[in-house]
A and B are shown apart, each in its own frame.
Chain A
Amino acid sequence: MIDVRVWLLWALTALVAASSTRNPLYIVLLLLVVALVGVFWAPAHRRLPLAPLRFALVAVPLAAAFSGLTAHLGDTVLFCLPPWLPLLGGAVTLESLVAGTINGLTLTVIWGAFAVLNQVAAVHELVRLAPRAFRDAGLVLSIALTYLPQTSRSLARIREAQAVRGHRLRGPRDWLPILIPLLISGLERSTGLSEAMVARGYGAVSDRPQPLPARGLLALGLFLLLGGWMTWLFVPRWAAGALAAMIAGGGLVGAVVWWGGRSVQRTTYRVHRWGWRDVGVMLGCSLLLLLVLLPLGGQRTLAYNPYPLLAAPPFDPLVGLGLLGLLAPAAAAPGPRRPAA
């Protein structure tokens, strides 16, 4: 198995890669890589990547149609819409359709990568990613996730009970006798839960506000982030100073998170040990990030503009090889289980 933090890094790397290029060849390659990883890590009964395929079938034609109907740029005119149509009137060009298709494919890559993350990461693993300083927020999340199945069962029970009384769902007003009992039963459960929490001493420690120095540092960190950001936006010649301020601000916020989490104990039932799979995926992601973010030779091929006249997009084998770094989880996928003898 691969650590959920490594999966998160993989999804974020796919996001960075997809956001950094407009070259359709690279985007299609990314799409294939993401789909392959999804196939390799899918449950045995669901091998086909149907969800990303469904998303692509909606997103790509919609994006292409939107761009084709509203962006009247490009030299290859396919047909013309009457000019009196507001916003839509004008020439529909091949170039604008291609630009829209590229948008749709980029969206599909980002959506597909996070669909893989959602598929492989269990909800409790995602909750555990929260830093220890978010003890209360994590508790709220845990309660909500624990009560979800109960709430669904309550909803079904209330519907059955109302149906036995002859209640039928015909319009929005008919939901009232179902939703209000659902709300009341949830609130009653929360009363019992909070009493149990207080009885176990929860309120004794959670009413404490953050220590003043920590709050001061948090405010200072936010001030540096905000100041640095505004400087970067509005005074580009001070970009280096702005970047330093933002890094310092981010560091201060991070330090407060670490400080706040020191007193919180977290126990683990089963510790995940890092293995060759985790290291391999991290190396693949690092390779891709280096190629995309650093000004190396092939970086200029990431850019592509279909306007004014459609031309073949460039392709750098080195960049293509780097994008294949995202395939690492497919290579690290567990093999099919053999049936027990």
Chain B
Amino acid sequence: MGRMASGAIYALSAAMGILAFASPFLTAAQTGTALSGAKAALAMMALIGLSLVALLIEMQGRSLDARTVALLGVLVATTSVLRFVEVILPMPGGFSPVFVPIILAGYVFGARFGFLMGAFTLLVSAMITGGVGPWLPYQMYAAGWVGMTAGWLGRAGGGNRAMAARSLAPRHLILLAVFSFAWGFLYGAIMNVYFWPYAVGSAEQSWAAGIGFAEMLSRYAAFYAVTSLGWDLLRAIGNVVLILLLASPTVRVLQRFRQRFHFAVQAAHD
């Protein structure tokens, strides 16, 4: 019963997050939608916030023991320092060093840890760099997804056995590089969606009700190409460079601590 409730909370929260980001595309397929303009943006923000609240309550209730809390707090602090460095020394385009630690933490410690690492890193770094604003819930959600999907990648890529080796096999390194390259674009594409319907631009790049799903995708692609592609390309390239440089030693260090932290005491059988 408990597992069912937990699964339902995860599934419903994920559905709400996806719907929030995808609602401009879905509502574009029809006319006469009840939500429009600023009210839609505020309603979306409230719903994203509530689904994040529900997800955090469920996650902290199930898995945050003292070791996880301490590890998460310290890793978030370390990653937030990198964000601080990024604010002081502006990086080219959308390049940011915070995504690679989130990806690697999710890859080693699993999807739940990865989600929390992503969400908290963006929250803490926003607090210390003066970046608290209406965009923050969306950033937390999107960065949480980066960490969560990295956890799935770790599982799919052979899990602990693959990481227990002295260094990451080239196959896993390439997998991580491709993954981080893709998220370089995806993060920007996801973050654009929440304000795109309210941005005023040319008709070929603007949201409009009742134009159909395919036309909406084509308009969004044009908007993304003009406003964000170059910016996100630098983020994607930066992610790949950092993964190729840092992934192998970082995963080795994190895996060693994972083995120290997560051990189970088993009763001896006669």
Contact = CB atoms under 8 A, between A and B. Distances in A.
Chain A partners chain B: yes
Interface of A: 15-16, 19-20, 51, 66-67, 70-73, 87, 99-100, 102-103, 110-111, 114-115, 117-119, 123, 126-127, 133-137, 139-148, 150-152, 155, 172-173, 175-176, 179-180, 182-184, 186-187, 189-191, 193-194, 197-198, 202-203, 206-210, 212, 215-216, 218-219, 221-223, 225-226, 229-230, 232-234, 236, 239, 242, 246, 249-250, 253, 256-257, 260
B77 A143 contact: yes
Contacts of A114: 132-134
A215 B253 contact: no
Contacts, number: 259
Contacts of A111: 133
Chain B interface category by residue count: 35 or more
Interface of B: 1-2, 5-6, 8-9, 12-13, 15-16, 19, 23, 26-27, 30, 32-35, 38, 41-43, 46-47, 50-51, 53-54, 56-58, 60-62, 64-67, 69-78, 80-81, 84, 116, 120, 123-124, 127-128, 130-134, 198-205, 222, 225-227, 241-242, 245-246, 249-250, 253-254, 257, 260-261
B9 to A, nearest CB: 5
Nearest to B68: A194
A139 B73 contact: yes
B58 A194 contact: no
Task: Provide the main secondary structure of the chain A interface.
Answer: helix
Given A183-B254, A197-B69, A229-B16, 10 more contacts: A71-B203, A87-B225, A87-B226, A119-B130, A134-B57, A136-B69, A144-B80, A148-B124, A176-B245, A190-B70
15 contacts: A71-B201, A99-B200, A141-B73, A144-B73, A145-B128, A179-B250, A183-B78, A190-B70, A215-B9, A215-B61, A218-B54, A219-B5, A229-B16, A234-B30, A236-B32
Contacts of A152: 81, 84
A208 B260 CA distance: 23
A220 B85 CA distance: 43
A147 B12 contact: no
Nearest to B258: A187
B242 A172 contact: yes
A260 B56 CA distance: 12
A176 B254 CA distance: 15
A87 to B, nearest CB: 6
Given A143-B69, A147-B73, A194-B67, A212 B2 contact: yes
B74 A186 contact: yes
Contacts of A137: 56, 60, 120
Nearest to B119: A137
A253 B38 CA distance: 24
A203 B226 contact: no
A236 B33 contact: yes
Nearest to A126: B127
Nearest to B133: A114
A141 B123 contact: yes
Nearest to A201: B66
Contact of A71 (B47, B200, B225): B200
B47 A202 contact: no
A226 B80 CA distance: 33
B180 to A, nearest CB: 14
Given A70-B201, A218-B58, A219-B9, A225 B16 contact: yes
Nearest to B134: A15
Nearest to B81: A151
B78 A151 contact: yes
Given A67-B201, A114-B133, A180-B250, A250 B50 contact: yes
Contacts of A207: 65
Contacts of A143: 69-70, 72-74, 76-77
B57 to A, nearest CB: 6
A147 B74 contact: yes
Given A145-B127, A186-B78, A236-B33, A218 B57 contact: yes
Contacts of B2: 209, 212, 215
